[in-house]
Chain A
Amino acid sequence: EIVLTQSPGTLSLSPGERATLSCRTSQSVSSRRLAWYQQRPGQAPRLLLYGSSNRATGIPDRFSGSGSGTDFTLTISRLEPEDFAVYYCQQYGTSFPWTFGQGTKVEIK
């Protein structure tokens, strides 16, 4: 099973600031098989990026992703009030079970 480790656990920032979230995998993952999700309180997760850098339908361009091998990054260029949430990375399309990171909470400073 591939283990995903996200850092930091919590990111305290102000609206308008840039957020950089990290996801490290225990073994190399194809960049085509890495996704990012956002989960707001009381809501189901929502797909943000797939294939490490492709935005899902309706996702604004302030969200971007990069990375390869074992290191991946989600960047939110300028935080909007609705962006304060928990973010998960996930590897998929490999042997089951597909796994998620433990999450990074982006909170208002």
Chain B
Amino acid sequence: EVRLVESGGDLVQPGRSLKLSCAASGFTFGEYAMHWVRQVPGKGLECVSGISWNSNTIAYAGSLEGRFTVSRDNAKNSLYLQMNSLRPEDTALYFCVKERGSYFSGAFDLWGQGTMVTVSS
């Protein structure tokens, strides 16, 4: 079965760190670019970060101000998002997403169910 399963979401205090993981199965993970997209419950969708198939191209939303780091391990079919200096406005459901292409060129054709990150004191 083709699927993406996120984990690592939690309730954390402002200023703390959190690392999200995404396990991919059912397709050749190493051939596709991957992304993180977040959604505040009841609100719209926001692209957070993307990484090409070989990790040579990485991009982030400007609003993150360098606090997040995306990485991948193709041998483990896994995608990660290291989130530092978390703020209340980072509270959202974080989706792991597969792109149709390898190099930031395709629409998002596979989504995980999301992992919830809540930043609150």
Query: Do A and B truly interact?
Result: yes
Which A residues lie within 8 Å of B111 (CB)?
A: 44-46
Contact B61 A96 (CB under 8 A): yes
Residue of B nearest to A6 (CB): B44
> How far, in whole Å, are A100 and B25 apart by their CA atoms in the complex?
27
Chain A residues near B100: list those with CB within 8 A: 50
Question: How many residues of A are counted as interface, with CB atoms below 8 angstroms from the partner's CB atoms?
Answer: 24
Using known A-B contacts A35-B108, A47-B109, determine if residue A97 contacts B45 with beta carbons closer than 8 Å: no
* Residues in B neighbouring A98, C-beta threshold 8 A: 47, 50
**In the bound complex, how far is the Cα of B81 from the Cα of A66, in angstroms?**
35
Residues from chain A with a CB closer than 8 A to the CB of B114 are: 44
Known: A96-B50, A97-B59, A97-B61. A50 touches B106 (CB 8 A): yes
Report if B46 contacts A (CB, 8 A): yes
Contacts of B47 in A (CB 8 A): 96-100
Please measure, in the bound complex, the distance between the C-alpha atom of A51 and the C-alpha atom of B107, giving whole angstroms. 8
Interface of A is mostly: loop
Q: A7 interface residue, CB < 8 Å from B? A: no
Contact B107 A35 (CB under 8 A): yes
* Complex interface: chain A residues within 8 A of B113 (CB): 43-44
B45 touches A100 (CB 8 A): yes
Within residues 35 to 79 of chain B, which ones have a CB less than 8 A from any CB in chain A?
44-47, 50, 59-62
Q: A50-B100, A100-B44 are in contact. Are A56 and B106 (CB under 8 A)?
A: no
Q: Chain A residues in contact with chain B, CB under 8 A? A: 1, 35, 37, 43-47, 50-51, 56-57, 88, 90, 92-93, 96-103
Excluding A50-B107, A100-B44, A100-B45, 5 further A-B contacts by CB distance (< 8 Å) are: A44-B112, A45-B111, A92-B105, A93-B105, A97-B47
